Structure 1
């Protein structure tokens, strides 16, 4: 076998291995997270907050967490780092995105820029918008009423 033929065979073998790795998915980057990872990362940043539920964006890069006390948690993947934030009702402006199940969110302070967050379903959009606008805390105040906790 000549040296030229050997080089062609080796180059073909290397290209075949690279193609197999690419098509089997081993070369893909994992940008999305699961609910467990979101809970662990947020709990690392805010250990005293009780998490009630999690809704992730469709691409898995942004996550919104319903917390006790009417607050909302926000966790976003930025490069290789996470940004975690507590959001009180009234800290953000929320608008629906036309034609997609998503929200356009603007933070009132300038420490974190807002953006468009697209979810998997309209139900997820409705739930997160309730959290951000304080719908659950307002509903709890109405349901409890002024006589809650007093003996008659």
Structure 2
């Protein structure tokens, strides 16, 4: 078999596999429909932990949950699945406000390093800042669970 024909067969084969994965839903992204879905997803992994406030990011990819034990829960869409974490101050390597609606969170966890999270308003961003820094009494719960 000639080399050009072999190369063409490989290109067509790889393209067919990529198209099949995409059409079967393999490239779908997980999004949170609202606070209730974030609470349900978090409760699946942490049934003994109670959340009393939920703050969703603008794009619906991530929810920050204010937990009763003074920590913060995170539900984050990663591919077509959800990643859940309980974050304490010791887990945070860097945390700051980029602007009044965007916060940057970097974690020490090697499996997920965090990211930049934009909220619909500055109150939600402020509440997340306060919760992660351990000063959650400074802000009231915006979306009650």
| TM surpasses 0.5 | yes
Unaligned runs of 5+ residues in structure 1 are 1-28, 139-152
The structure that has the greater radius of gyration is 1
Between Structure 1 and Structure 2, the one with more helix by share is: 1
1:100-111 aligned within 5 A: 101-111=101-111
Q: 1:75-125: CA deviations, max 9, x gaps? A: 001121000000012321211114x61101100232211111000011111
Q: Normalized against structure 1, the TM-score is what? A: 0.66
TM-score (norm 2): 0.69
* Aligned partner of residue 43 in structure 2, secondary structure: helix
Which position in structure 2 is the counterpart of 1:95? 96
Per chain length, whose mean CA-contact separation is higher, i.e. which structure has more relative contact order (CA < 8 Å, sep 6+)?
Answer: 2
Conserved in 1, the CA contact under 8 Å of 2:97 and 2:104?
yes
Aligned length: 109
Question: Residue deviations 1:20-53, cap 9 Å, x none?
Answer: xxxxxxxxx8834211111100000100001101
Q: Which residue of 1 aligns with 2:73?
A: 73
Match of 2:14 in 1: none
Runs (4 or more) in structure 1 with deviation over 6 Å come to none
**Partner of 1:127: helix, strand, or coil?**
helix
Q: 1:30 to 1:95 in 2, by over 3 A?
A: closer
Please, which runs of 5 or more residues in structure 2 have no aligned partner? 1-28, 139-145
Deviations along 1:60-89, one digit per CA (max 9) or x if unpaired, are 101000001111000001121000000012
Contact 1:73 1:84 in 2 (8 A): yes
Mapping of 1:46-61 within 5 angstroms? 46-61=46-61
Aligned residue for 1:54, secondary structure, equals strand
Tell whether the 8 Å contact from 1:90 to 1:133 is kept in structure 2 after alignment.
Answer: no
**Separation in 2 of the partners of 1:30 and 1:64?**
16
